Chain A
Amino acid sequence: MQHATRLAKSAGPGQMVVYTSDGRISHHAAYGFPAIKSPARRSRIGSKRIERAVANLVMDRLRSGLSASGEVSQ
């Protein structure tokens, strides 16, 4: 976590987000970006489901990035 924080801080504007195994955000910090404020009203979909959907998307991005660089093989 400390190393990730240093990286996020040193790379200009950056963020660090830590997901739990069930896709919830357990920690988020923004460096050089405006802090993201909570919405005026909560969605009926539920924050858990929304964070999980975004976590799945992030994992897909990482997998396709790794796959494109040849680090993941079938």
Chain B
Amino acid sequence: MAKSPNSDHVFINCPFDASYRPLFEAIIFAVHDLGFVPRCALEDDDGGEVRLSKIERIIEECRFGIHDLSAVTLDPVHKLPRFNMPLELGLFLGCRRFGGLPQRQKKCLILDTERFRYQKFISDIAGQDIHAHGGEPKQAVIEIRNWLAAASTRTRLPGGSAVAGRYARFRGELPALCADLHLPEHELIFADLSELIIAWLKASR
């Protein structure tokens, strides 16, 4: 029997490289601040689990999904696009369609740099919830807040500007936190970042 997805859990499908890091941190921060739990393929490094199986398991466990297609551009070295994000979006949509009754509650937000850019490379997703962040963390936070408020129908979510303001303060204080922990920022893994955000939010909202 198919599992029911957790209505607090949000699958994050985005690039994990350094150039995307500001957007990644902003998305994780916003999801925590809004009272949800971000999940992604980086959450554990169990070498025994095949990566695709891990992604399938996390998708199955999440009611919500945020898919950022902004990095689907040609790699300067290999001249090939990166297909991981569209693949994982396809898995999420397939799980919703074929995963049985509990999985039909799934909802997803698709982010890109420009609102209609997808028409040039993945036009079959027309009709989904597609929003633009313009490469700006603040705009990504606002889009996520507005979408989660509508998709979850939860009341009393803070406004997008308030969440973005807190994210800017967190970013400003992160170097001091990392210095206290004797840990360079670039060595923070997903689980570290999540717990730092949670502890900071408890002390700072």
Contacts and interface: CB of A to CB of B under 8 A. Distances in A.
B195 A36 contact: no
Contact of A50 (B9, B33, B181): B181
Nearest to B162: A13
Interface centre among B38, B43, B204 (most CB of A within 10 A): B204
Contact of A37 (B35, B158, B180): B35
A38 B201 CA distance: 12
B192 interface: yes
Contacts of A44: 189, 191-192
Given A36-B201, A58-B203, A45 B183 contact: yes
Interface of B: 8-9, 32-39, 43-44, 154, 156-158, 173, 176-177, 180-181, 183, 189-192, 194-196, 198-205
Interface of A: 13, 15, 17, 25, 28, 30, 32-45, 47, 49-58, 60
Given A33-B156, A35-B35, A37-B35, 14 more contacts: A32-B156, A33-B158, A34-B158, A37-B32, A37-B37, A39-B195, A39-B198, A40-B9, A40-B39, A50-B195, A54-B200, A56-B180, A57-B203, A58-B203
